[in-house]
Structure 1
Amino acid sequence: MIALVTNTGALALATKALLAPALIVAVLSALSLTQRMAKRLTFALALAFLADIAPGFTPWAHGATSVLFLLALIVYAATLAPYWLRELDGLHLLLAIPYGGVVIGLFLACAGGAGSLLPLLVVYALVLAAVAFLSAGVNPLTWIGGTLLLLSSSVLGMSWFLPGAWIPESDLWVMGSYIAGNALLVLGLLRTVPARRWAPQPSSGASLVIIEG
């Protein structure tokens, strides 16, 4: 974030690439890699890492970044779905309306500028909406995280595909919501695993027992 404020592009790209590895360390410090949750989150974050470094190595950064992060979102959605089904209720179903409305509106606004990337934009919009919707039905951390990822991609999509769009400090909005969204989504998913290494443990302190005779 500091690198963006100071217009240090190379430093911003380098530090952004540290996000996914840091979250992978957090995942593996909490879970064994043999656990399904650890495997899925590590895979999703590895894809996000490749998406983060793609602009530095490819001349077609938009497409490469979008495809890689799309795959990461698909893994996130597959990880969220079982927990969403477990906590299913009417409120969670109603959340499809605002999330769907946001994604449809953004797609209609950005479709004209997508050009050959239009099919990718359609799939990306659907998967992004699914992640935001599913994350809302797991716990508050995933809910906020999924919503922030939706915000990040929405602002980025407008800057790429919506001619004439101008959002003040858009880079800061995109990066801040991207970092916080990924972190909260991962931490929220880790909270669904009772057997994590740093889970709160029951107190083993002494207790007072009174026996009436």
Structure 2
Amino acid sequence: MTEPSEPGPLLTAADLLGPVDAVAASLLGCWVVTDRPDGRVALRLTEVEAYSGQGEDPASHAHRGPTPRAEVMFGPPGRLYVYFSYGVHWCANVVVGPAGRGSAVLMRAGEVLEGEPLARSRRPAARVARDLARGPARLTQALAIGPDDRGADLLDPASSVRLHRGAAPGSVSAGPRVGISVATELPWRFWETEAPSVSVFRAGVRPRRAAGRSDRSGKIDP
């Protein structure tokens, strides 16, 4: 399939309503575009994960309600939820569903289609193009997404981080999410079948509980 040279129109709030797993799968093929002082990078999403805020998903940061960290997840749809994972790297999520629901879609991996030299300068460890945004930390590094983007409106044409329509993949696969130790039975990771930029699956392990750092999501917070 030949990729378009430019992203399509911006998504709308209506595109992000519905069950979180259905919306997550529909984001495959969409473009994420960042405009920074040093230039533009755009990638096409090839892998995502759904996290529900409806009380059915203990792996979700929204499972305990609108805490200070997870408040952005409760809407409106189209906001960018950015969090620091394992005290090491940033992850970026698209808030979906009606305001107040608390659902979001983690952008796990993508294929850089515009601004590859700039993405390479941000990801000097990447030896091949498929590794530029292969995994959620690499994706945010390639796009220069960080804490200042928390709450950004991905649907606003004036935003420096935007979510655009793109060509849907010809085939989509689904399976368990990566790196969690609860709700592991939910097949809420979706990826473009055989896309080289899809991250390597690693089953989650239950972390040992440390004083002041227990987290029902199965992830250890900083």
Measured against the shorter chain, the TM-score band is under 0.3
More helix per residue: 1 or 2? 1
Higher relative contact order (CA 8 A, sep 6+): 2
More strand per residue: 1 or 2? 2
Give the TM-score, by structure 1 length: 0.25
Give the TM-score, by structure 2 length: 0.25
